[in-house]
Chains A and B, each alone.
Chain A
Amino acid sequence: DIVMTQSPDSLAVSLGERATINCKSSQSVLYDSNNKNYLAWYQQKPGQSPKLLIYWASTRESGVPDRFSGSGSGTDFTLTISSLQAEDVAVYYCQQSYSTPSTFGGGTKVEIK
């Protein structure tokens, strides 16, 4: 199975400041045939289902604010919140769907400093 490792486990950021979350996969999740990284990011608020933010490493899901962006390729990926808002307090997960079983990272908790 592909192991997804997120860092940090938690971070506290001031309102309006940048938050950066890292995700590393134990093997590449880049499909050579279509040059797409099978890497997604989700946001989960307490008591709610996960919400898709980013897929194919950098494609923002419809309706997701543009302060959320994804980058990276191969084995190293980053989710950036450019200007943290109060409603962004949540746990964020990366997920690979390059191979089965699909696997998730352990999560990064984002709080307000």
Chain B
Amino acid sequence: QVQLVQSGAEVKKPGASVKVPCKASAYTFNTYHIHWVRQAPGQGPEWMGVINPRGGGTSYAQKFQGRVTISRDTSTSTVYMDLSGLGFEDTAVYYCARDGGRDLWLGFFDYWGQGTLVTVSS
């Protein structure tokens, strides 16, 4: 069955960067966009950005422009989310999620990774 597998929890100091991988399996990697969504403790989800694995094109929420980079490695079916300049407010669970549209961006998410807790602490 379709799986998105993420890495384990991370603890980072303020100002540092974090790079979270998301490995996809059991479907054709190039045919579905992958999104990144984060969820701070006790809060609702927040969309960060999306990548089209076929050509590598990306789109980011204005809030994260200049701080987030989403990339992919087609040889390993892995998408990466790199967030720089971490602050305490970036403490959250970070999820990758597959778009529900085959070969197009529909914007709803049919499969989710298990999440990666990123804690920013001095």
Contact of A52 among B44, B45, B63, B108 (CB under 8 A): B108
Cβ of B109 and Cβ of A52 under 8 Å apart? yes
Bound CA–CA A95/B107 (angstroms):
9
Bound CA–CA A103/B35 (angstroms):
13
Q: Which A residues lie within 8 Å of B14 (CB)?
A: none
Cβ of A38 and Cβ of B107 under 8 Å apart? yes
Cβ of B108 and Cβ of A50 under 8 Å apart? no
Given A38-B107, A101-B47, A106-B44, the answer on whether A49 and B61 have CB atoms closer than 8 Å is: no
| B contacts with A, residue count (CB < 8 A) | 20
Tell me if B7 is interfacial: C-beta within 8 Å of chain A. no
Cβ of B114 and Cβ of A49 under 8 Å apart? yes
Q: Which A residues lie within 8 Å of B89 (CB)?
A: none
Cβ of B44 and Cβ of A104 under 8 Å apart? yes
Cβ of B110 and Cβ of A52 under 8 Å apart? yes
Cβ of A101 and Cβ of B62 under 8 Å apart? yes
Cβ of B59 and Cβ of A50 under 8 Å apart? no
Looking at the assembled complex, report how far the CB atom of B118 sits from the nearest CB atom of chain A, in whole angstroms.
15
11 contacts between A and B (CB under 8 A): A38-B106, A49-B95, A49-B112, A50-B109, A52-B100, A52-B110, A93-B45, A97-B107, A101-B61, A102-B47, A105-B44
